[in-house]
Structure 1
Amino acid sequence: MTLTQPDLSIFQTLESEVRSYCRGWPTVFDRAQGSTLYDEDGRPYLDFFAGAGSLNYGHNNPVLKRALLDYLERDGITHGLDMSTSAKRAFLETFHELVLSPRGLDHKVMFTGPTGTNAVEAALKLARKVKGREAIVSFTNAFHGMSLGALAVTGNAFKRAGAGIPLVHGTPMPFDDYLDGATPDFLWFERLLEDSGSGLNKPAAVIVETVQGEGGINVARAEWLRALADLCRRHDMLLIVDDIQMGCGRTGPFFSFEDAGIVPDIITVSKSISGYGLPLALCLFRRELDIWEPGEHNGTFRGNNPAFVTAAAALRTYWADAQTEKQTVSRGEQVEAALRAIAAEHPETGARVRGRGLAWGLVFEEPARAGAVCRRAFELGLLVETSGPEDEVVKLLPPLTIDPAELDEGLRTLARAVRETA
């Protein structure tokens, strides 16, 4: 099959060199529906990327699109800062009814700004304000965003270096199994907390991802998360769970920490909360932590009303019962079985499988192989990206709404890509 070379000259001439995803997928995308994108020549690509986890319900989901079009056609409020609007009220009522209340969460909702890093910045600022301390503890291979506060609690050296200034008041600790089980969980962390000569300023909070997506699909065990929550309680530190990529059902339950039975003090949510790929971010926190003064933390685009509309529609459509969670777990089992078969077929690659729900990684001993697999997958019509500190992981984040046949097709394509690059 002969493919027409796309004209990328305008992007190369005018757009900054900082662009990245387009380099791995050198085509011009034109439209999308469900789990498939189409380029300008009409060639389909199965999407196992889902907007980096922002499109859990697929592209142009028809239910959400209809709600959005109806709202726009009646001249509903588009830009509202933090004014009270009917769209915001509908979202808050739905979010409370279908998400917070059933889980026994009495958290307040703060609309921070349009992106996940805005939610993280608000969480860090609030934790410091509440506790009157500067230090924040994060974990090895964490990723929390690209603004300065979020970068200070991010592990990736390449991304941290982009800050151009010292990143302060953040201290990394080993994530679950970082030391291959050689040291008991939190031994080092607790020793530092208890020793006045350790040099660790008492932290205001600990921020953690239950599954590190950008860090390489590193999955924290439920018992590790429970031990962390207990450590935070005993040492008067707030627990922040960054659920920006793994929330909204990506691991099965709406929040990724539910299976561990913990209740974070602060939760950050973004990416798929709008359901439609529209910018929206939330910072949720226990009611007694709401000590903000009016206007103390604000932003022009923190009230994205079209996103409120699609978010409420997504919650009503997918979270009124347990069906979405059950389906995600089932689809996840399908992915795991296929990835384990791929790893078994290619023992020479040292491939390993890890993941949860519909967030999975195929880890290669030789990092370059993961990149080669992703490039070949693109040529075969499948979008997957790499993650991990050395880009050694082929990362799979298909839409939660993908049907089993599409999922199987994409997994067969991935198996072929591994085979043809082995």
Structure 2
Amino acid sequence: MNKTFTPSSDADLAPFNRLESEVRSYVRAFPVLFDRGLNTTLIAADGREYIDFFGGAGALNYGHNNPAFKQALLDYIERDGIVHSLDLATNAKKAFIEAFEKHILQPRGLEYKLQFPGPTGTNAVEAALKLARQATGSSNVVAFTNGFHGVSAGALAATGYKDFRTASGISLANVTMLPYDGYLGEGIDTLDYFEKLLDDPNSGLDKPAAVILEAVQGEGGINIASTQWLRRLRELTKRHGILLILDEIQAGIGRTGKFFAFEWSGIVPDIITLSKSLSAYGTPMSLVLIRPEIDVWKPAAHTGTFRGNNLAFVTAKAAFDVFWSDTKFQDEIARKSAVLEGELKTIADAFPALGLSVRGRGLMFGLVCDKHRTFASAVSKEALSRGLVIETAGSYGEVVKFMTALTITEGDLRRGLGIIRDSISTLAAKFN
């Protein structure tokens, strides 16, 4: 690797600055003209190599251009396999459905119908919320503080982020926000409040059609709902006839060490939304899993031009066959998770004046600095100058967010963590 990682030249970035909308965000944090990617290495147009701890914000759990899937994709394209199909039957879709049933649903004793909405995560959330309202006849939905479910209108109403909500330009209604697990501090079970609202007929809470949440909040700052809290929430929703929707778009597909993040608690949701790493290759794809008895859709009641991405079906099916046919991949994630957690705790302990803390699960971790809200962004910027791409999260951007590919080598994992440590060492005096 080169030792100097300055931003790409003004000439390289000029077309983006001149013609692309002001809405762009990640290119501002990482002003580099990237050209190629291989597993957890990003290669800039000028040949500089970066370690990728960003992972496409959760869309690249299997790394860039995984060779286990690339050949299957190339073969499919070479033989003129169907690419666009709406919801027509294709061999690629059939193979995906059968592999998903064999490797994901059956081993977990799960029974769901599969709905293929539009290609993004917010499309899946929109479909899930619409279905829940149709199935129950209620319009209200409960969501949680610091949750992120997308930026189209329905999903955005269930998202807590102020900047996203303000940008909507309309009133965001029919969602009641409640405190997530741990939001009010240790020793306070936030579900006491929810249960009281449900039990009191005069509480003013319109009976929800559904509750939607992430078992691990990613954009919210790597907040983990405890097993006890999730089980109590499942019991509450069952008792009151409320559907439970688990948003597994970022925390799913192995990110926390199991295929679904909710698996750690043993609960079974009524509806599950999936996207991001589902396609295994960074191509757009989303999926809604629906308990069969609430699949009340009428034909064409929810459509989308790009709900039949066969290229995504091909790579996703290959991922199931390669990584989810046994427990070896999960064991590998657990081993790397121990390395990541241990090294982050060592880093936190090495800089006591900063008041750093560590939280996370699997290969989804956060290094938190509540004491200095600009610290995480400073670490991200410094790390980029040293050849590491990593983002931030949390209400105030106070969390350095670790979302490296699950396929990262231990060597690259340790090298990236070394860059983080060196970056913090450089910055520590400024923030002490």
Does the pair score TM above 0.5? yes
- Pairwise CA distance, 1:181: 2.8
The residue that corresponds to 2:96 in the other structure is: 91
The residue type paired with residue 200 of structure 2 is D
Does 2:375 align with 1:373?
no
In structure 1, the partner of 2:393 is: 387
Can you give the 5+ residue segments of structure 1 that lack an aligned partner in the other structure?
A: none
1:288-327 correspondence to structure 2 within 5 Å = 288-327=293-332
Q: Which residue of 2 aligns with 1:82?
A: 87
Equivalent in 409, 417, 422 of residue 415 of structure 2: 409
Give the secondary-structure state (helix, strand or coil) at the position aligned to 1:204.
strand
Partner of 2:64: 59
1:349 offset after TM fit, Å?
1.1
**Matched residues in 2 for 1:4 and 1:231: separation?**
51
How far apart in 2 are the matches of 1:5 and 1:21? 14
Q: 1:420 to 1:285 in 2, by over 3 A?
A: same
In the alignment, structure 1 residue 175 sits paired with structure 2 residue 180: yes
User: Equivalent residue for 1:236?
Assistant: 241
Alignment CA distance shift 1:4-1:168 (3 Å): closer
Tell me the residue number matched to 2:347: 342
Letter in 1 for 2:241: D
Helix, strand or coil for the counterpart of 2:261?
Answer: coil
What CA distance in whole angstroms lies between the structure 2 residues aligned with 1:184 and 1:53? 29
Listed as ranges, the gaps of 5+ residues in structure 2 are none
Is residue 203 from structure 1 mapped to residue 208 from structure 2 by the alignment? yes
Q: 1:4 to 1:285 in 2, by over 3 A?
A: closer
Larger mean Cα displacement after TM superposition, 399-408 or 5-14? 5-14
Seq. identity, %: 53
- 1:286 is aligned, of 288, 291, 310, to 291
1:265 aligns with 2:270: yes
Distance 2:188 2:249 in 1: 29
Contact 2:7–2:31 (CA under 8 A) maintained in structure 1: no
Could you report, residue by residue, the CA deviation over 1:20-61 in whole angstroms, capped at 9, with x for unpaired residues? 000111110000101100101110110011111111111000
Please report the TM-score for the alignment, with normalisation by the length of structure 1: 0.99
What code does the residue aligned with 2:368 have?
Answer: V
Q: C-alpha separation between the residues in 2 aligned to 1:206 and 1:101?
A: 25
d(CA) in 1 for partners of 2:7 and 2:120? Answer: 35
What displacement does 1:184 show?
3.0
- Give the 5 Å matches for 1:8-87: 8-87=13-92
Gap change, CA 1:81 and 1:180, over 3 Å in 2: same
| Structure-2 separation of matches of 1:142 and 1:27 | 30
* Matching residue of 2:126: 121
Aligned residues: 422
Distance 2:86 2:362 in 1: 35
TM-superposed deviation, 1:4: 7.4
In structure 2, how many angstroms separate the alpha carbons of the residues matched to 1:249 and 1:119? 19
Q: How does 1:117-196 map to 2 (within 5 A)?
A: 117-196=122-201
- CA 1:301/1:409 → structure 2, altered by over 3 Å: closer, same or farther? same
Which deviates more, 398-407 or 190-199? 190-199
How far residue 259 of structure 1 moved from its aligned partner, in angstroms, is 1.4
Amino acid at match of 2:67: P
What's the TM-score once normalised by structure 2's chain length?
Answer: 0.96
Aligned amino acid, residue 82 of structure 1 = D
Does 2:406 align with 1:400?
A: yes
> Structure 1, residues 309-342: CA drift from partner, whole Å, max 9, x if none?
0000011010000011111111111111111111
- Aligned-residue CA RMSD (Å): 1.0
Measured against aligned partners, the alpha-carbon deviations of 1:284-333 in whole angstroms (never above 9, x if no partner) come to: 01011111000000000001000000000011010000011111111111
Q: Which amino acid aligns with 1:31?
A: R
| CA contact 2:73–2:315 (8 Å) conserved in 1 | yes
SS at match of 2:374: helix
Please tell me the residue identity of whatever aligns with 1:369: F
Q: Quote how far apart the aligned CAs of 1:183 are.
A: 3.0
8 Å CA contact retained: 2:183, 2:190: no
2 CA distance for matches of 1:11 and 1:325?
A: 40
Paired residue type of 1:109: L
- Please list the CA deviations of residues 38-86 of structure 1 after superposition, one character each: whole Å capped at 9, or x if unmatched: 1011101100111111111110001111000000000000100000000
